[in-house]
A and B are shown apart, each in its own frame.
Chain A
Amino acid sequence: MEKLLAPGHRACAGCSMPTVINLVLDAAGPNTIVATPTGCSEVTTTPYPESAWRVPWIHSLFENAAAVASGIEAALKHFGKDHNVFVIAGDGSTLDIGMGCISGMFDRGHNVKYVCYDNEAYMNTGVQRSSSTPPCTSTTTTPSGKVSFGNPRPKKDMPAIAVAHRVPYVATASVAYPVDLRQKVKRAISIPGPAYIQVNAPCITGWSFEAGTTVEIARLAVETCLWPLYEYVNGELAGVKKIHVKRPVEDYLKAQGRYRHLFRMKGGEEMIRVLQQMADENARKFGLLYEGDVACTSGE
């Protein structure tokens, strides 16, 4: 099948974002209009007069994709047209600057499916901290230093915020689990009203991991329980991706330059313990482990 995001775009080698977009569009099909905010996906796919998009696509500003999509959906409704309307946006525009527009779109109940590819910082401008950056992450605005372990704050829980808006379908997904992601997109389309899907999307330059390991890194995020895969339908937890072998967070952290300082600095171990507690809490909260399973230890 012809990809709806054409090859030849200018994303970095090893970037997960085009893969996320094509998985979403594979599931949504060509009867889809996409709104994208300013960011990596926009600048790498649409240098005028070229475009990699084989579906109708619009970019307006950094913080308004949800509002633009609201307007598209309202116009389609008025004309009696039936097309999927998607937003595909990064975490900076979603969790920070576009928060008001997204809240409004959710609140008004537009039939807009919002996919956030979450690479956990402002990658297009050079890896600055966003409110989706996990704690203890070194970014260019929360660098690790003699008196800093990097980002001091927890990650904003955007899926919970979507659930609090009574968004009927809310899910997390991962580029490492394409079948799961496609199914979630299809489920989002099948349920009328807004939907929110947040996809873990490793960034090779911002996270600095070995070339060729993008999917492996994403899978480790899930297997360590730092990135739980779940879905909420009408406010109820409706499904989770269970983990057979829960990996220690070190396996995930040590593979990435953005956590290198935790293994070098005095007190880094304590920070790693804090991150492990977060993962354990995810496992408990979402019931990610099969009964009787035990966590394996590092190196196994």
Chain B
Amino acid sequence: MKMIVKEEMSLRERMARMRVVEGSYAVAHAVKCCSPDVISAYPITPQTHIVEHISQFVADGELDSEFLTVDSEFSAMSSLVGSSAAGARCYSSTTSQGLALMWEVLYNASGMRLPIVMTVANRALSAPLNIWNDQQDSVGARDSGWIQLYAEDVQEAADAIPQAYKIAEDPEILTPVMVCMDGFILTHVYEPVELLSVEEVERFLPPYRPKNILDPENPKTFGAFADPSYFTELRYMQWDAHRRALKKIETVAREFAEQFGRWYGGLIDTYRADDAEVIIVTMGSVIGTIKDCIDEMRSEGMKVGLVKIRSYRPFPTEALRKALKDADVVAVIEKDVTVGNEGALLTDLKAALYNTPTRIPVIGFPAGLGGRDITVRDIRRVVDKAIAARDRGIEAEIEFLNLREDLL
């Protein structure tokens, strides 16, 4: 996060507004400030604190929302399909198995163009059962038609909520948005956070006034079936809305920065990447560690930089081409793996560069799976491997970071 210090508010004043809160509280508080009409969620670790805090806001009368304590994540998303079609601003949160159980409804909600916003507290998928962080859950949902934003820290995860509604509810977009934050690492950490207020968010986010809703005064049919003569065009229109979202995400991020003085990048952000020979590409909370490591290496004279993916869907192809065109080598660190191929982000990134003059080695590192820590030492190893790939050619396109050979 970069602080843009505005004249009317000194840094000292901003610091005074900060409170040390749990990541889940910051997100719940941001949700409250967006005044959703209906919230529907099912408890699952490590998402629980988010919905518990929201429930408390409702119980205390601080948030006037219908909170549905549903029987499953499947019902959570299904009920929001109904609420959203009835004209409600909707919110949910889930993770891992819960997101997997929602799978069918994810595609349905996006296909019906319902602008639901959901926080995904990223967690590994079973088997083996594992409650800790990686991003296999939301990365696996990359084709579901949802916009996916990934947060680097707690403040970004919270600030992404009003941004998500502004993107989703735009009549030119009308697409649901997932705000992804690393489970435990961000949901359970206590950090200084500048909390939003309802009044500020109301100035930023216009009220939701959908044109098409379930209304007996003007009866409409939602969810008709489309045969082969119509299906392609409806899918194309979704695809095209994502294309428009590329611009909208940037615009909304700028509008947010102008009002609140906080900027996280639009589709992507960069850190010391302008003259970097080695660029690491990643998304999520590991970015903090990488930035520290880059500062260390820079002080040693190594030209290393970072490109952060903020919007994974829509995929920021053009922005990445621009950001990576002068690099010598790219290393992708990602908390997922496509079993049978490679990391999903690695594939996407290589595809983005393919039809361009940029011909540089791109290597990938599935890392932090099931919650394994990614340390500064690990990042250094990635950079060493990248430099070796540049100097001596690619040895392995993909390598599991920190693989314990003794267990194999």
A-side residues, CB < 8 A to B, are 30-33, 35, 42-43, 46-51, 53-61, 63-64, 67-79, 83, 100-101, 103-104, 107-108
- Could you tell me if A64 and B214 are in contact, using CB atoms closer than 8 angstroms? no
Q: Which residues does chain B contribute within 8 Å of A59, judged by CB atoms?
A: 222-225
User: How many pairs, one residue from A and one from B, have CB atoms within 8 Å of each other in the complex?
Assistant: 156
Given contacts A46-B221, A60-B112, A75-B83, contact A68 B78 (CB under 8 A): yes
| CB–CB B225/A78 < 8 A | no
Stretch at the interface among B61-69, B122-130, B297-305, B371-379: B61-69
- Measured in the bound complex, the distance between the Cα atoms of B214 and A54 in whole Å is 12
Is B40 located at the chain interface by the 8 A CB criterion? yes
Closest chain B CB from A93 CB (angstroms): 12
Q: How far is the CA of A47 from the CA of B230 in the complex (A)?
A: 10
Q: Are A31 and B214 in contact (CB under 8 A)?
A: no
* CB nearest to B107 among chain A residues: A61
Residue from B64, B72, B80, B224 within 8 A of A71 (CB atoms): B80
**Residues 207-233 of chain B, each 1 if its beta carbon lies under 8 Å from chain A, else 0:** 000000011101111111111001000
Q: Is the CB of A61 within 8 A of B86?
A: no
Alpha-carbon gap, A75 to B64, bound state (A): 12
CA distance A55 to B215 in the complex (A): 8
Flag if A71 contacts B82 (CB, 8 Å).
yes
Out of B82, B87, B215, B220, which one reaches A70, CB within 8 Å? B82
Asked whether, in the complex, the Cβ of A33 is within 8 Å of the Cβ of B214, the reply is: yes
**Closest B residue to A30 using CB positions:** B216
Complex Cα gap A19–B42 (Å): 38
Given contacts A33-B216, A68-B81, whether A57 and B222 have CB atoms under 8 Å apart is: yes
Q: Knowing that A30-B216, A101-B75 touch, tell me 18 more A-B residue pairs with CB under 8 angstroms.
A: A43-B225, A48-B227, A53-B219, A56-B216, A57-B221, A58-B81, A58-B223, A59-B222, A59-B224, A67-B78, A69-B82, A70-B68, A70-B70, A72-B214, A74-B82, A75-B38, A75-B88, A104-B72
B37 contacts A by Cβ under 8 Å:
yes
Give complex CA distance A68, B72 in Å. Answer: 13
Beta-carbon contact of B105 and A60 below 8 Å: yes
Within 8 A of A (CB), among B144-178: none
Complex alpha-carbon distance, A77 and B37, angstroms:
10
Q: Please determine whether B88 and A78 come into contact, CB atoms closer than 8 angstroms.
A: yes
Most A CB within 10 A of own CB, among B68, B90, B105: B68
Residues of chain B within 8 A (CB-CB) of A51 are 221, 224
Partner of B222 from A58, A67, A70, A83 at Cβ < 8 Å: A58
Q: Assess the A61–B108 pair: CB atoms within 8 A.
A: yes
Contact between B68 and A78 (Cβ–Cβ < 8 Å)?
A: no
Q: Give Cα A51 to B230, complex, Å.
A: 15
| Set of chain B residues within 8 Å of A53, measured between Cβ atoms | 219, 221
The 4 closest A-B pairs by CB, nearest first: A71-B82, A104-B71, A71-B79, A67-B78
